[in-house]
Every structure is written in C-alpha cells, then in structure tokens.
Amino acid sequence: MTSGAEGRSGFTADVAGAVLERACRTAGLSPANAQLLRLGSNAVYRLPDSAAIVRIARDPEASEESRRAVRVARWLEAEGFPATRVVAGVEQPLVVDGRAVTFWMSAQDRDEYAGPAELADLLRQLHWLEEPASLGLPYYDPFDGVWEFLRDLRGSVADDDLAFLEERTGRIQKEYDRLDWVLDFGLIHGDANVGNALRGRDGKALLIDLDDFSLGQREWDLVLTALFYERLGWHTRAEYESFVYRYGFDLLNWPGYPVLADLRELKMTLWLGHQVASDEKAAVEFTRRVRAIRTGGSRKDWQPF
C-alpha cells in the first residue's frame, strides 16, 4: 500500500495517465484524445469524445473526500445550484491503483473562467443554502494536513527553510485560534477562487472542485480573492471592488484578514514544496515564495500554479 507522502511525491503525468486508461475502461468511456489540463492536487483530464472531465486524486488517502464531493454535487443539482455535475451512470468514485477517480460533465469544450463578480454571486447564493445532515460534511480545519506536509518536506528542502516554515506555522496557528469572526458559520466551498468558477455553455458561471466543501467560517471563502488582489496583484482594484459589492462584505476591513492571508499563502507555498524534487519551475517558485515570506518582501512576482 502506498503511503500518503509517497503517493503525493510520485504522482507524475505517466502515473496519472495509466490510472486514466484503466478508469475509463472500467467506466465505459473512451480515453482517446484525452487532454491533461492540470497536474496538481488532482490530475484533471478532458475527454473530448465523451464531453467529460476526469479528476484523479494525487493523494491516495483522498477517497472519502471524493465520495463527499460526489454527494455534494448531487445535492447541489437537486437544489438547482449552478455547480459541476457528475457523469450519470458511472460508479463514483472509482478507485484505481489506490487513487480515487471521479467523472464530471464538461462545462464546455474549453475552460472559460468566471470573474470575481460572478464568483461573489455564487458564494452569496451558496452561503444561503442550508445543507442536510445526510451530506456528512466535516468541520473545516485549515490546519488539517499542514503539519504532515511539513514533516514530508524533510530532506527535500533546506533545513533552515523548513525550520522557518515550522515556526511560522506555529505562530499563525496561535493567532488563528484567537480570531474574532464576524460572518456566520455554515456551508463553505473551502477553496473559493476564480480558478474554481467556470462559465458553462450558456455563459453562466458555475462552481467546480467540490472536494473541500465543509462547514466553517464564511470568511475563509473570501480570503483568496482578497489575497489575490491585495498581496499578489492577480486581481485589479476594480475586479476586487466588484467582488465586494456583489457579495456585500469587504474582508480587507476585518482585523483578522492578515492572519487568514498568512495562512493561505503558507499553504500555497507548502504545496509547492512537494514538487521541488520533480519540477524545476516549482523549485524556483518555492524558493521565491519562502524568501518573500521570510523577508516580508513583495508577493507581486509570485506565479500561479
């Protein structure tokens, strides 16, 4: 049985491709002309011949998250909420070579991302929903897996970088535990950003990537958009203001924002740390990010991954 750390670090395009072939044969779908869209926390493929998207989890221990994502998708469809839909008539998820595989209806033939204003509309609508207990949603813990990720970095990143990241994680966790929340607790997406909001064939926006759906503080669903604007410069001021106007709350005015932003950029950086041994671009980006966090330098040159 592959351990979580080994499975994450050994997740290459070749490994994912072999899983894809077996999964498609089991599901009765053709892998011919499959296009690898992303190789991150999941390998994401488009199947042009089937108008489907296939997601293969990097983490061999992610089967429960995948099952929950399927349950959430079916519930959102019953609610009429604009979100990605599972392919009907296929067992969900399949487990192939220890990895969870799910099949989703393709929003359209190419990815067209929604804007911050559309994301705000989706989140406002989502946050009004009241989930049934049958969904079995967990409470959101932003530190879940963080210390394990740090342990897994030993031997692959410099010792002083690892010691710095461990110290920073401990400090952020203490600050997080003292936060005074102002928005309601309830259903959240868990990884809300424009990269997880696509436009469908009808031009309307929908949410994708349902793996982190959970119960938590609504501020967490707003922090990436604020971070992308305030620190990274990936959104313009006009885009961020449209997000605030449509959602109805400006996270930058909340005193707890810097703590959530510090935590989010830490998690983004730790994820990259697991790619340094196999991806030269990731190694360069990891070094850039650690240097900026350590020195308090600008994040404007950070590259999306």
Residue 18 clears pLDDT 90, i.e. is over it: yes
- Contact criterion met (CB below 8 Å) for 240 and 116: yes
CA distances for 91 relative to 50, 102, 134, 184, 190, angstroms: 16, 8, 19, 35, 25
pLDDT (tens digit, 9 = 90+) per residue, 106-163? 998 888 999 999 999 999 999 999 999 889 999 999 999 899 999 999 988 999 999 9
> In angstroms, rounded to a whole number, what is the distance separating the alpha carbons of residues 13 and 282?
15
pLDDT of residue 91: 85
Least confident of 8-17, 20-29, 80-89, 231-240: 8-17
Average pLDDT of 164-168?
97
Average pLDDT of 266-280?
89
Question: CB under 8 Å to 175, separation ≥6 — which residues?
Answer: 259, 262
Residue-level length of the chain: 305
Residue 198 clears pLDDT 60, i.e. is over it: yes
Residue 3 clears pLDDT 90, i.e. is over it: no
pLDDT of residue 296: 95
